[in-house]
């Protein structure tokens, strides 16, 4: 008769509960049987009852999935009651094969959490979370504004106003003035061409030539509607900028010693029309990160710095023990799959958060620079593996640099020249030899480092 071995695992969280998050109800398990499961609604009073029921059963630690946005109110309520909450990714709580129900799911989550098999997702502190709300709203408005801009361009093509051919940006200084005048009823091409900005490369005659249209009323109506929508979004973006500026200044008021921190001006950092409208943002970011000048890194724009401030914040970097962990969380590090000593795959994992997108955009901008440390790195990778691989590699390098600067309070200091592998090994060897000579108090002449002995060796050869 075959012997059945019983495997036991140590209980890491004895007073643990598992919650299966739902849109209309939450299932809570405080044990491994169906009698230990209870269903609660999603209203505020029912969330309070859920927390009180957990406390009455001696629960101190709770695990739940980050399903959509339904977890946020319950998470806030649990934290208010002093519980330790583990918010984990849904892929780590998948139910094993077999029948799947809400009751079995919450029991499965409770088992995993009690055994310490669930890891918590990254969550910023309250200050960064509030700033993130403002910045994400601003980002959404920019996307919606871009949609209105594309529709304006579509109606201009239908009207045969080829403004996109004669100006670089339809929503630039020249383009918006012309569109505004068209919406007011002025359809004379020569009169519209008078709105040409002096920086525009095309002449007034060529602009007027591109503005001979068919003047259809339905297309003019659609253009006017989209122009009003575009102006509305631009107004909302400015309101977001004011709110972000106000919030950052309130945060800096809590650290009066940072007001004395000053950094160098960076006039070479260009600002496009989507850059945050915060006055002297270079100094503000320097004070916000307590004297760390992230803007000194080539390729880092105002929008990229704002993404770092809102998505992770200065305190969020300390939650990662190393720069490798930070790059892995951003999904910028290769996911090595090894079996039998052989690497089966080393692709970068799928998935993007807003910070990863911002760093990849900064890396793409670095690829267009010349004669900088990071642009040289970008070109070396692009020569061997292509531009997309170079963007990912440079974005990972940026993540490592930023983590090091913020956590260790060091300034950006790129090497002045690129060293090949043999040159790096030579420098390391020289440094190691010097340390050993100083450590053991060795006289260089004792080991043949005398100049005369070297000359004699050369003469003998």
pTM: 0.82
- Residue 293, both tokens: 């000048």
Alpha helices in 409-441 (DSSP H): 421-439
Helices 217-253 and 126-158: crossing angle in degrees, nearest 10, is: 160
Is the pLDDT at 432 greater than 90? The verdict is no
Average pLDDT over residues 420-428: 78
**Residue 454: band (very low, low, confident or very high) from pLDDT cuts 50, 70, 90:** very low
Fold of 128-249: Helix Hairpins (1.10.287)
Is the pLDDT at 457 greater than 80? The verdict is no
Q: Residue 316 and residue 330: Cα distance in Å, rounded? A: 13
Dump pLDDT digits (tens) for 166-197. Answer: 998 899 899 999 999 999 999 999 999 999 99
Q: Please give the residue that has the higher pLDDT: either 71 or 92.
A: 71
Average pLDDT over residues 418-425: 72
Contact present, 186 and 175 (Cβ < 8 Å):
no
The pLDDT of residue 461: 45
Sign of CA dihedral 85, 87, 93, 94: positive
The pLDDT of residue 393: 94
**Residue 444: band (very low, low, confident or very high) from pLDDT cuts 50, 70, 90:** low
Contact present, 83 and 60 (Cβ < 8 Å):
yes
Looking at domain 16-114, its CATH superfamily turns out to be YqgF/RNase H-like domain (3.30.420.140)
Q: Residue 164 and residue 179: Cα distance in Å, rounded? A: 12
Is the pLDDT at 102 greater than 70? The verdict is yes
**Residue 347: band (very low, low, confident or very high) from pLDDT cuts 50, 70, 90:** confident
The pLDDT of residue 384: 92
As beta bridge partners, residue 41 has: 25
Dump pLDDT digits (tens) for 20-72. Answer: 998 899 999 999 888 999 999 999 999 999 999 999 999 999 999 877 888 98
Q: Residue 269 and residue 305: Cα distance in Å, rounded? A: 12
Helices then strands, each counted (H, E), the chain? 18, 7
**Domain extent listing, the chain:** 16-114, 128-249, 273-408, 421-460
Q: Residue 121 and residue 351: Cα distance in Å, rounded? A: 15
The pLDDT of residue 191: 92
**Residue 407: band (very low, low, confident or very high) from pLDDT cuts 50, 70, 90:** very high
The pLDDT of residue 350: 80
Dump pLDDT digits (tens) for 113-163. Answer: 998 888 888 888 899 999 999 999 999 999 999 999 999 999 999 999 999
**Residue 386: band (very low, low, confident or very high) from pLDDT cuts 50, 70, 90:** very high
Average pLDDT over residues 261-265: 89
For 53, residues 6+ apart whose C-beta sits below 8 A from its C-beta are: 28, 38, 40
Domains 16-114 and 128-249 fall in the same CATH topology: no
**Residue 305: band (very low, low, confident or very high) from pLDDT cuts 50, 70, 90:** very high
Is the pLDDT at 3 greater than 60? The verdict is no
DSSP 328-374: HHTT-S---EEETTEEEE-PPPS---HHHHHHHHHHHHHTT--SSHH
């Amino acid at each position: 008769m075959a012997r059945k071995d019983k495997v036991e695992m140590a209980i890491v969280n004895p007073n643990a509960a598992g919650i299966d998050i739902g849109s209309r109800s939450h299932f809570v398990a405080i044990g491994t049987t169906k009698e230990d499961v209870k269903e609660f609604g999603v209203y505020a009073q029912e969330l309070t009852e859920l927390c009180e029921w957990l406390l009455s059963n001696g629960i101190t630690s709770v695990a739940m999935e980050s399903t959509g946005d339904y977890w946020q109110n319950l998470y806030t309520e649990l934290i208010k009651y002093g519980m330790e909450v583990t918010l984990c990714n849904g892929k780590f709580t998948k139910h094993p094969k077999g029948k799947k129900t809400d009751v079995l799911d919450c029991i499965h989550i409770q088992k995993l959490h009690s055994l310490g098999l669930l890891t918590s997702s990254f969550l910023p502190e309250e200050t960064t979370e509030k700033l993130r709300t403002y910045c994400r709203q601003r980002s959404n408005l920019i996307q919606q504004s871009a949609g209105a801009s594309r529709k304006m361009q579509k109606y201009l093509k239908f009207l045969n106003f080829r403004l996109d051919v004669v100006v670089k940006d339809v929503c630039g200084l020249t383009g918006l003035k012309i569109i505004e005048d068209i919406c007011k009823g002025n359809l004379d091409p020569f009169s519209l061409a008078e709105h040409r900005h002096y920086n525009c490369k095309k002449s007034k005659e060529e602009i007027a030539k591109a503005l001979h249209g068919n003047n259809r009323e339905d297309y003019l109506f659609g253009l006017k509607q989209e122009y009003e929508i575009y102006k509305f979004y631009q107004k909302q973006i400015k309101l977001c900028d004011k709110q972000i500026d106000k919030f950052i200044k309130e945060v800096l008021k809590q650290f009066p010693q940072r007001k004395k921190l000053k950094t160098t001006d960076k006039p070479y950092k260009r600002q496009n029309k989507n850059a945050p409208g915060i006055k002297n943002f270079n100094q503000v970011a320097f004070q916000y990160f307590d004297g760390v000048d992230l803007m000194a890194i080539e390729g880092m724009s105002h929008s990229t710095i704002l993404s770092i401030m809102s998505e992770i914040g200065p305190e969020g970097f300390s939650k990662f023990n190393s720069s490798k962990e930070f790059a892995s969380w951003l999904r910028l590090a290769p996911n090595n799959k090894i079996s039998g000593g052989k690497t089966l795959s080393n692709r970068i994992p799928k998935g993007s958060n807003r910070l990863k997108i911002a760093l990849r955009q900064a890396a793409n901008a670095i690829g267009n620079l010349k004669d900088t440390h990071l642009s040289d790195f970008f070109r070396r990778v692009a020569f061997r593996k292509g531009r997309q691989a170079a963007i990912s590699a440079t974005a990972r390098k940026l993540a490592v640099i930023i983590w090091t600067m913020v956590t260790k309070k060091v300034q950006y200091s790129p090497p002045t020249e690129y060293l090949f592998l043999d040159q790096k090994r030579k420098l390391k060897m020289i440094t190691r030899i010097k340390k050993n000579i100083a450590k053991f108090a060795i006289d260089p002449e004792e080991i043949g480092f005398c100049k005369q002995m070297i000359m004699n060796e050369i003469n003998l050869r």
